[in-house]
């Protein structure tokens, strides 16, 4: 790989810091790179004389000219200047602001290639972090079977929730997504991974806000009213909820605003206000009230109905959520008699899906409001074979054991940081016949699988699920079986 020094932009009289001396490249150098891989954040990986450079927008198999932006001891970052040889997986991103917006990372990659890459990302983590042997082909004889990623027939317009930060320019209110790596808002009229109706609601709210002279929140000064516009769309029922996140309780021209929204957006059946006066980038504050309409909207996953409130967590891709949960039920091996524990149950989405096929389900979640929603959703569906409790899984599950509850299956769906070590210890003590691990982070998944394997479980099969097409995120469902030792 030839290295080409740039004649411009380099300060010849300035030496690099002592700890960076001897590196094969310096800042502002222009280099030729062959891209040999891609990071979990979607950056192309190339090397110059053994030194690794990460290049945003480059794909494996490409040859590129790139300008070095920053160097550290072991690696650096470079900007793509020219595609010398393009990958056959490269396509033109259809989104007009893709290069500016940080919401998607893989629109320049063919969708089939995205699915292959996500499977390989899971495999690499299982082998490198989990020290697990993955079968080269789909046969359990030579190791763990990792299935092809389950993708979408139509991988666009799949998101049922928009959370749009609001800012201001000379032309008035703007709202969109943050530019990649910054808090600068890129104004957006349409997002190709959002449901079209979400786009329409956000655009109408911005337009009405401009007409009424509504101010936008300023992160630097802490002044201004409107911080975020949050829209939720129920795919099955068509109902919509609008949440205005405000920096204070008083909304100027509130009645006129609500009246215009109701007139222009007949699908909106709930308009809520959330008050957040903290100097923080957290979206929601603690105080939520209904300005007009209902407190909840209703949607379905499969045959299970859910009530969704302003702050309820609900999976943002309902089509793939049903795929994910169906695979979870399959791996749980339920016949209608089993006792199941759902260790991170949230508002009960997986628990209620499992309860259709199990004898008894117990769900535990540390967030009290989520458990209240879970109980309400159980009543909504007339399900009497599911119980929910507030608390940390690693505290509640041992208490259940003392009460004589012995699960046949434990399902875990932890946050990105993975399972609490005490929960893994609890699972090994409870010794359920099967464990189903639903993960949103391949690296912490691999780490936790290693612990379970060392504790007497065998990882049988792994299925990646593409919940977020055109982004670097991948969900994974894993089947584990207790060994007879």
For the annotated catalytic residues, the residue numbers are 440
Among candidate residues 52, 100, 29, 179, the one with its CA nearest the CA of residue 43: 52
User: Rounded to an integer, what distance in angstroms lies between the CA atom of residue 470 and that of residue 103?
Assistant: 9
Give the distance from CA 389 to its chain's centroid: 25
Sheet with 409-412: list strands edge to edge. Answer: 145-146, 457-465, 475-482, 434-439, 409-412, 339-342, 360-365, 386-390
Helix, strand, coil in percent for the chain, rounding step 5? 25, 30, 45
Contacts of 473 (CB under 8 A, 6+ apart): 440, 467
The CB density around residue 41, as the number of other CB atoms within 10 Å, is 9
Give the distance from CA 415 to its chain's centroid: 10
Count of alpha carbons within 13 Å of 114, Cβ hemisphere only? Answer: 26
CA angle 175/160/156 to nearest 5° reads: 90
Q: Which two tokens stand for residue 474?
A: 């991948």
Answer whether 386's CB lies under 8 Å from 410's CB: no
The CB density around residue 465, as the number of other CB atoms within 10 Å, is 25
Determine the angle formed by the axes of helices 442-454 and 421-430, rounding to 10 degrees.
40
Q: In the chain, what is the straight-line distance between the N-terminal and C-terminal CA atoms, in Å?
A: 53
Among candidate residues 174, 42, 169, the one with its CA nearest the CA of residue 108: 42
Three-state SS at 29: coil
User: Rounded to an integer, what distance in angstroms lies between the CA atom of residue 145 and that of residue 137?
Assistant: 8
Contacts of 96 (CB under 8 A, 6+ apart): none
The CA distances from residue 145 to 139, 156, 222, 294, 479, in Å, are 6, 29, 52, 47, 10
Q: CB under 8 Å, gap of 24 or more: what pairs does 203-211 form?
A: 204/260, 204/261, 204/264, 204/265, 205/175, 205/229, 205/242, 205/244, 205/261, 206/166, 206/173, 206/174, 206/175, 208/257, 208/260, 208/261, 208/264, 209/166, 209/172, 209/173, 209/257, 210/172, 210/173, 211/260
């Amino acid at each position: 790989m030839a290295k080409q020094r740039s004649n411009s932009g380099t300060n010849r009289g300035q030496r690099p810091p002592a700890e960076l001396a001897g590196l094969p490249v310096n800042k502002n150098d222009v280099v030729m790179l062959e891209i040999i891989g891609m990071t979990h954040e979607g950056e192309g990986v190339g090397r110059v004389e053994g030194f690794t450079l990460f290049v945003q927008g480059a794909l494996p198999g490409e040859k590129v000219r790139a300008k070095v932006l920053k160097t550290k001891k072991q690696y650096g970052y470079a900007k793509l200047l020219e595609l010398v040889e393009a990958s056959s997986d490269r396509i033109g991103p259809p989104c007009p602001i893709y290069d500016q917006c940080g919401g998607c990372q893989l629109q320049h990659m063919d969708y089939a290639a995205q699915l292959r890459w996500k499977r390989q990302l899971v495999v690499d983590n299982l082998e490198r972090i989990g020290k697990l042997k993955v079968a080269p082909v789909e046969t359990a004889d030579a190791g763990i079977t990792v299935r092809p990623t389950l993708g979408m027939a139509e991988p666009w317009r799949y998101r049922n929730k928009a959370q749009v930060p609001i800012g201001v320019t000379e032309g008035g209110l703007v709202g969109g997504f943050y530019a990649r790596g910054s808090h600068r808002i890129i104004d957006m009229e349409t997002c190709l991974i959002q449901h079209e109706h979400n786009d329409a609601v956000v655009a109408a709210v911005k337009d009405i806000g401009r007409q009424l002279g509504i101010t936008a929140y300023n992160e630097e000064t802490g002044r201004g009213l409107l911080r975020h516009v949050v829209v939720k769309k129920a795919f099955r029922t068509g109902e919509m909820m609008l949440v205005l996140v405000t920096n204070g309780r008083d909304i100027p021209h509130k009645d006129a605003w609500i009246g215009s929204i109701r007139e222009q957006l007949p699908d909106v059946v709930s308009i809520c206000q959330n008050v957040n006066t903290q100097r923080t980038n957290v979206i929601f504050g603690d105080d939520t009230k209904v300005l007009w309409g209902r407190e909840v909207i209703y949607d379905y996953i499969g045959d299970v109905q859910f009530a969704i409130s302003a702050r309820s967590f609900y999976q943002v891709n309902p089509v793939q959520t049903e795929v994910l949960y169906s695979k979870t039920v399959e791996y749980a091996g339920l016949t209608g008699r089993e006792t199941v524990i759902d260790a991170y149950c949230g508002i009960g989405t997986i628990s209620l899906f499992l309860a259709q096929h199990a004898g008894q389900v117990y769900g535990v979640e540390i967030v009290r409001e989520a458990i209240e929603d879970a109980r309400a959703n159980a009543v909504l569906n007339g399900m009497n074979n599911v119980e929910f409790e507030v608390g940390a899984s690693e505290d509640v599950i041992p208490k259940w054991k003392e009460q004589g509850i012995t699960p046949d299956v434990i399902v875990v769906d932890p946050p990105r940081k993975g399972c609490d070590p005490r929960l893994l210890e609890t699972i090994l003590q409870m010794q359920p016949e099967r464990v189903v691990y639903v993960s949103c982070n391949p690296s912490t998944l691999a780490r936790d699988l290693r612990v379970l394997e060392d504790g007497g479980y065998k990882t049988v099969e792994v299925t990646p699920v593409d919940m977020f097409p055109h982004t670097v995120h991948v969900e994974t469902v894993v089947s584990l079986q207790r060994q007879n030792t």
